[in-house]
Structure 1
Amino acid sequence: MVVSALAFALMNLLVKYLNGFGVYQIVFFRAIGTLAFTTPLILKNKIPYFGKKKQLMIIRAIVGVISLTCFFQSLNYIAVGTAVSLRYTAPIFAAILAVFLLKEKIKLLQWFLFALAFSGVLIIKGFGQDINTLGLVLIFVSAFSNGLVFVLIRKIGKDESPLVIINYFMLTALIFGGVMSIGDWKTPNQIEWLILLSLGVFGYVGQLYMTKAFQTGKTSVVAPFKYVEVIFTIIVSTFWFLESYSAMVLLGIAIIIAALISNTLYAAKK
């Protein structure tokens, strides 16, 4: 899980570094790097390329692209550490959506922890002088969409290979990002080519090792380690991009992480 968290953090930091490129072009290259792994693996293992639950996987892919695009766009307006922290509110939206779409129940303690996490958001917004409102809207659209993705994956179930689900997502991102970036294409230099293509590699590694973590360890043990991504991102962005985080913003981030880790541990125990 630590390897996964570091891979996702590096991807986010590189996206921030590539702010000279349009968000759609970044989405396009994010897709190419991952497809280079998923498509050969699907063909090698003779997995049905389009799966069975095509409609659900298309919806999941579209929602995933919305989440990814909004997240990348938000990095143009708010600090990357803050954006990553706020995007981690996705499990809250997932749990609430699951009540209506999957008929799942939320315990009273979980409602309290969700409210506590949102109090952290209010602290960040109230005391973070550099928190841009548009950036905040974008990150919450991303978090909500990501929460919906979690629910849709649950709905798809174990009948479909994770590789096929990811492949649908990346194919949709490739088409969407490619078409949308036609009018705003910037030709990368050699180093930028390497960085752009590495986005998908880091994304794939992050997804792969997160899956392995949940397959080999208890959820209550491995899940909290995913928040290493937030800590690593804040530390690196402070030195790399000279981003500053006030004490109140860091307090808000800490409250969000503490509340979500507590919810993960409680849910795993149940």
Structure 2
Amino acid sequence: MDVKKAIKYMLFSTLAFACMNVTVKYLKDVNTYQIVFFRSLGSLFFTFGFLIKNKIPIIGKKNTLLVLRAITGATSMLLFFMSVKYLSVGTAVSLRYLAPIFAAIFAVILLRERIKPLQWLFFIISFFGVLVLKGLDTQIHTTGLILVLLASILSGLVYVIISKIGKSEHPVVIVNYFMVIATVLGGVLSIGNWVTPKGTEWLFLSSLGVFGYIGQIFMTKAFQSATTNLIAPIKYVEVIFTACLGVLLFNEIYTFWNLLGIALIIGGMVLNVWYKGRKTKN
């Protein structure tokens, strides 16, 4: 176990995802369907290349679950990208990180898993953060909030589906299904809504898949290098990186209530990861 290397990998991953988030914000004049299309198509070059190079079967075994995971994930990504057009990127990313709460609820209903009382307390802390954002921060756009919460709910369902798939599928096979479905979804929806990108927008659209793939690869390496309970909390640094880039590039303003709400959301999630890791050790 190489903790220092794992931390470096995760920080690099969060920076790549943060760059992808602000790129989506920059492309505010480009249709969201096109953003999904280009982000997914860009990653397909890497996933297909990896599978072919390593002679890994592209089709997989649990096809129904793979397709269901891909459709759910693609819809979640579409809704999240839509929300970024209404919310500051840091706020949107922090709200998306509510997904583990919904994953826990789905796991209780669908997988009959049990959630410890203390975990529910941490979830309540995070939900209180949402209430602070919506109730006390006048900058929060209702449409953006609804979109990102729907994206989080679907992301939670994705976690459960991946849990059902288990280790029977190679991780890149799962990601490849996701990218194929998302490319088709974004492409089909773009047909009647196409907005021709201008100038540097082509470059930024092309970079989405690269940032997404780099983030995914280094996140995987991080989890392979150290235990989940040590590395998972660092994933939330993505919110800090994204918010800082939002301030620097778009002059976004974060009020006291905005920062408090984000802190409660992320704090509750980090406490949950820490508690789960401690219980696993015991």
Give the distance between the partners of 2:199 and 2:31, measured in 1 at CA. Answer: 18
Taking structure 1 as the reference length, the TM-score comes to 0.98
Determine which of 103, 124, 132 is the counterpart of 1:94: 103
2:186 corresponding residue in structure 1 = 177
Shift of 1:186: 2.3
Is 1:122 matched with 2:131? yes
Cross-structure match for 1:151: 160
- How big is the shift at 1:190? 4.9
Select the residue among 132, 148, 162 that pairs with 1:139: 148
Distance 2:218 2:32 in 1: 26
Shift of 1:256: 1.1
1:154 and 1:78 map into 2 onto residues whose CA distance is 31
Deviates more, 1:40-49 or 1:13-22: 40-49
Query: Partner amino acid for 1:179?
Result: V
1:225 paired with 2:225, answer no
In structure 1, what is the Cα distance between the partners aligned to 2:70 and 2:150?
15
| 1:15-62: CA deviation from partner (whole Å, max 9, x where unpaired) | 000011000000000011100100011111111111000000000000
What letter is aligned with 1:223? A
Letter of the aligned partner of 1:126 in structure 2?
Answer: G
- 1:220 is displaced (CA, Å) by 1.7
Distance 2:173 2:84 in 1: 29
How far apart are the structure 1 equivalents of 2:252 and 2:218?
Answer: 29
Structure 1 counterpart of 2:185, one-letter code: F
- Which stretch has the larger CA shift, 185-194 or 140-149? 185-194
Identity %: 55
Q: Spell out the pairing of 1:255-270 with structure 2 (5 A cutoff).
A: 255-270=264-279
- Aligned-partner SS, 1:253: helix
Post-superposition shift, 1:238? 1.1
Aligned match for 1:161, one of 144, 149, 170: 170
Instruction: Select between 97-106 and 17-26 the one with higher mean Cα deviation.
Output: 97-106
Letter in structure 1 aligned against 2:207? S
Q: d(CA) in 1 for partners of 2:161 and 2:100?
A: 13
DSSP-derived class of the 1:105 partner: coil
In 1, Cα distance between the equivalents of 2:204 and 2:87? 22
Could you tell me how far 1:189 is from its partner in structure 2? 3.8
Match of residue 89, structure 2, among 54, 57, 80: 80
- In structure 2, the residue matched to 1:9 is 18
Tell me, in whole angstroms, the C-alpha distance in 2 between the residues paired with 1:184 and 1:107. Answer: 46
Of the three residues 34, 39, 63, the one matched with 1:30 is 39
- Which runs of 4 or more aligned residues in structure 1 lie more than 4 Å from their structure 2 counterparts after TM superposition? none
- Please give the per-residue CA displacement for 1:172-224, whole angstroms capped at 9, x wherever unaligned: 01111111111222223452222111101111111111111111112121111
Alignment: residue pair count: 270
- How high is the TM-score relative to the length of structure 2? 0.94
SS at match of 1:13: helix
Instruction: Give the aligned CA root-mean-square deviation in angstroms.
Output: 0.9
Task: Give the aligned partner of residue 203 of structure 2.
Answer: 194
- Correspondent of 2:121 among 84, 95, 112: 112
